[in-house]
Amino acid sequence: MKLCLLLLLCLCRLGLTEEFTPAADVAEETEEEVRGCGGRVFSPEDHRAIGGAVEQLGLRLLEKLPVGLQQPNVVLSPLSLALALAQLTLGARNETEKLLLENLHALNLPCYHHVLGSLLHHVSNTSLEVAARMYLRPGFEVKLSFVEDSLARYQSSPVPLVSVKEVNQWVENATNGHVPNFLESIPHDVVLMLANAVYFKGEWQTRFDPLVTSKGVFYLDNQNSVSVDMMKSAQYPLRLLDDPELEAQVASFPFKGNTSFLIVMPLPGRGNVSSVLPKLNISDLYRRLPQEKTMQVNLPKVKLQYRQELEEALTNMGLGSLFSGPDLSGISDRPLRVTGVRHASTIELSEEGVEASATTVVTSMRSISLFSINSPFFFALVDDASMTPLFMGVVTNPAPDDDPMLNDDPGRNSTMSDQPLMDDVGERDIDSERGHRQPLQSMSGLDGKTE
């Protein structure tokens, strides 16, 4: 599985001087230093508290992003957004600082920047790679304390903002080639860009065999479906929960390296992904997931790209003042405002890392449950130790470039059933996986209408 994201936050002001100058500012002890945060070793409980805050930020943003026919899938990194906004908070003052901390769900979290930096170091020791940069326009007077704090807390090193080519090259390298040509141009009034890239490449703890992957049906709604490649396993150890409150099935697929892939799929005829989002609590779901049970699993192969300007969604979250008249005097004495937050991400869900074997057959004929992910679902890639969602998103159409087909018999599906194992998993009849689906809904906020 591969996931990568690039988040770019741009600030601008009017008027430029001739060359870049780090402006000296008065060295003062911050509130965190007064409380003794600098020398502490933070506990797993501290990391889980930050993980919960990152989760809330991500879920709120996800609710505000448009999902519909034109944009059927969303992939974002709550961790990446938290890092960008937290770095901006280092230079925010007064009401702007309070507003940012409220949206980061950090007002009641002591030593927030130190703990988030510690968490960043922790997750970077897994299969996750995080890179950050601060691009400074020559002539922009930035306060030295902001540069030093950004580097110390979030490893965001300052470099001159010279050309689009240089920025795009860094982005491409930081995302292992998955986000090329990120910028077409850099507006002349942009003086500072905060960029961070997150890349994950994981290997399933229980592997899928690519020789067993075959075509299956993914139901967009109760009328339309698409044909997709389904990864299949006849005996997969899975933690699966039927949640009556969410009216959804919840499953956790573990990766090697203390991360896992959480899927929440609404039950047929019971709701849709947009109705589930406001009720999600990832850490609570993990606490309630039962022990692993061996079952048949069908999981669609997914390879998606997602690009989105986040200004409208952040404004709908209450952060609109960042784009008009914020107090960022901790960055510079000159007036600044955020002019854009650009996001690009990709997800590739595949059998990568599988040791293929032509002998993957099942000879017994006992009853075993089938769990088929064949309708719109929410997902999250979770760091198991801190319960931090590194990525999250919604998949409502894993084949957005293909024309949908009409469901021939929408009344015969069950995503969970008991079936006899077939002698050849690759030749299993998938007719039993069809059924009634709820219409695709928008998650762009309040209207809930299809785009």
Q: What is the pLDDT along the chain (451 residues), one digit of tens a residue?
A: 766 566 777 777 533 333 334 444 433 434 444 346 867 889 999 999 999 999 999 999 999 998 888 889 999 999 999 999 999 999 999 999 999 999 999 999 999 999 999 998 888 766 788 888 888 888 888 899 999 999 999 888 888 988 999 988 988 888 888 888 888 888 888 888 888 888 888 889 988 999 999 999 999 998 999 999 999 999 999 999 999 999 999 999 998 888 999 999 999 887 789 999 999 999 999 999 999 999 999 999 988 888 888 999 999 999 999 998 899 999 999 888 888 888 888 888 888 632 222 222 333 334 568 899 999 999 999 999 999 999 999 999 999 999 999 986 554 445 554 443 333 443 333 334 434 444 334 444 434 434 4
pLDDT in the model for residue 432: 43
The span from the CA of 383 to the CA of 390, in Å, is 7
Question: What is the number of other CB atoms lying within 10 angstroms of the CB of residue 119?
Answer: 25
pLDDT in the model for residue 321: 93
Tell me the one-letter amino acid at 10: C
How far is residue 63 from each of residues 288, 345, 440, 443, measured CA to CA in Å?
Answer: 24, 17, 15, 5
Per-residue burial over 325-345, b = 16 or more CB atoms within 10 Å of its CB, e = otherwise: ebbbbbbbebebbbbbbbbbb
Beta strands at 293-300 and 302-309: parallel, antiparallel or unpaired: unpaired
How does pLDDT run across 205-223, given as a tens digit for each residue?
988 999 999 999 999 998 9
The span from the CA of 286 to the CA of 239, in Å, is 9
| Confidence (pTM) | 0.83
Q: Residue written as tokens 């979770």? A: 382
Q: Which CATH number fits domain 214-300+358-427: 2.30.39.10, 2.40.30.10, 3.30.70.360, 3.40.640.10?
A: 2.30.39.10
**Phi, psi values for residue 358, rounded to 5°:** -80, 0
pLDDT in the model for residue 409: 57
User: Tokens standing for 337?
Assistant: 């405002």
How does pLDDT run across 223-278, given as a tens digit for each residue?
999 999 999 999 999 999 999 999 999 999 998 888 999 999 999 887 789 999 99
User: Tokens standing for 81?
Assistant: 């957004």
The 3 state secondary structure assigned to the chain is CEEEEEEEEEEECCCCCCCCEEECCCCCCCHHHHCCCCCCCCCHHHHHHHHHHHHHHHHHHHHHCCCCCCCCEEEECHHHHHHHHHHHHHCCCHHHHHHHHHHCCCCCCCCHHHHHHHHHHHHCCCCEEEEEEEEECCCCEEEHHHHHHHHHHHCCEEEECCCHHHHHHHHHHHCCCCCCCCCCCCCCCEEEEEEEEEEEECCECCCCCCCCCEEEEEECCCCEEEEEEEEEEEEEEEEEEEECCCCEEEEEEEECCCEEEEEEEECCCCCCHHHHHHHCCHHHHHHHCCCCEEEEEEEECEEEEEEEECHHHHHHHHHHHHHCCCCCCCCCCCCCEEEEEEEEEEEEECCCCCCCCCCCCCCCCCEEEEEECCCCEEEEEEECCCCEEEEEEEECCCCCCCCCEECCCCCCECCEEEEECCCCHHHCCCCCECCCCCCCCCCCCCCCCCC
pLDDT in the model for residue 19: 37
Architecture of domain 2-27+42-202+304-348: 2-Layer Sandwich (3.30)
pLDDT in the model for residue 36: 66
CA atoms within 13 A on the CB side of 317: 25
- Residue ranges covered by each domain of the chain: 2-27+42-202+304-348, 214-300+358-427
Is 155 in contact with 147 (CB distance < 8 Å)?
Answer: no
